[in-house]
Amino acid sequence: MEKIILIVGPTGVGKTSLSIQLAKKFDTEIISGDSMQVYREMSVGTAKVTPEEMQGVKHHLIDYCSYKDDFNVMIFQKEARKIIHELVKQHKIPIICGGTGLYIKSLYYDYEFNDEEKDEDFEAFLKSRSEDECWNMLRIVDPASLEKIHKNNRKRIERALMRAHMGNKKSEAEERQNHQPVFDAFVIGLTADRDYIYQRIDERVDVMMNHHLLEEVSSLITSMDDFKLQSLQGIGYKEWEAYFKKEATVEETVALIKKNSRNFAKRQYTWFNHQMNVHWYDITQEDFRKQIEQDLEEWRKEIIC
């Protein structure tokens, strides 16, 4: 199996900085596992690495497309795996660093995506149906998928119906998978006390404001319809809609961004703690970086043997 290093953890723990340190030490490159940093026009609110911070280390899947483009897990998985294979050929151990749980897992585990053509008619049809109608349809078409989707989760129910409609039922596809990793990965998780993380998140939002977050958002919005873009559903962006409608002040918006970021961090913990085997390191420990390097060295030796 190909060897990769995964760096995960909640927003604002310092994944970026660690990834660059490790990339330099092991002479390799970094693949971003982040669903928002792919948009080239969005840098401040996504806390994207700056060219100076990169220190010459090559980064992939950052500034990949425009915020007006569609991006999704399938594209991510395909692109990221392609880059991994190339790096491994050069005898490098790719570092994947990011906080988007689904993206990381889809790359690490044997998730399979098929090429799909958008069926807008069927999409519109689903939108026109009531929640009960959708749920009942799915109960007939792919009842097994209901085990993992709650009745109120309209979005997931619509997707499952779409898959069934395209002849690629969710439950059957997952039945065919082994639910095992397809890479030999060392998963590094960065963590700290919840209070400390929350404090760092609040501070980071203040820094974003000083780095002209509001100006960045303004530059992206040409009409209020732009707030419907998937890219602008990101935290740090969607909250400004109320501000532009004059329904909220800057202070209220900033407070909301902080709150949403904290809630997001909590969800990231839930994901990484339960979806994959993570080696957690506390960033408030003096020598955590050294410890990680040591553990990685040992892990590398195991590989050679």
Partner RNA sequence: GGUUCCUUAGCCAAGUGGUAAGGCAAUAGACUGCAACUCUGUGAUCGCCAGUUCGAAUCUGGCAGGAACCU
* Residue 93 three-state SS: coil
How many CB atoms sit inside 10 A of residue 235's CB?
A: 20
Among 286, 292, 238, which Cα is nearest to 261's? 238
| Length in residues, the chain | 305
- Interface residue with RNA, options 7, 170, 192, 288 (CB under 7 A): 170
Residues 16 to 55: which contact RNA by CB under 7 A? 34-37, 45-47
Residue 290 beta carbon to RNA: minimum distance, rounded to whole angstroms: 28
Residue 278 beta carbon to RNA: minimum distance, rounded to whole angstroms: 13
Residues 181 to 200: which contact RNA by CB under 7 A? 194
In whole angstroms, what is the distance from residue 103 CA to residue 80 CA?
Answer: 10
In whole angstroms, what is the distance from residue 92 CA to residue 305 CA?
Answer: 17
Q: Confirm or reject binding of residue 274 to RNA (CB under 7 A).
A: yes
Total residues contacting RNA (rule CB under 7 A)? 60
- Under DSSP, the state recorded for 152 is T
Complex with RNA: residue 90 or 219, whichever CB lies closer: 219
- Interface residue with RNA, options 54, 65, 102, 182 (CB under 7 A): 102
Judge residue 113's burial from the number of C-beta atoms within 10 Å of its C-beta, 0-12 exposed, 13-18 middle, 19 or more buried: middle
Q: Confirm or reject binding of residue 171 to RNA (CB under 7 A).
A: no
- Under DSSP, the state recorded for 180 is -
- Please say whether the beta carbons of 96 and 80 come within 8 A: yes
Complex with RNA: residue 61 or 149, whichever CB lies closer: 149
Q: Confirm or reject binding of residue 297 to RNA (CB under 7 A).
A: no
- Please say whether the beta carbons of 107 and 275 come within 8 A: no
Q: Confirm or reject binding of residue 148 to RNA (CB under 7 A).
A: yes
Q: Which two tokens stand for residue 170?
A: 């969710």
- Interface residue with RNA, options 74, 88, 221, 242 (CB under 7 A): 74
Contact residues toward RNA (CB under 7 A) are: 11, 34-37, 45-47, 71-74, 99-103, 106, 111-116, 148-150, 152-156, 158-159, 163, 168, 170, 173-174, 177, 179, 194, 230, 233-236, 259-260, 262-264, 266-267, 269-271, 273-275
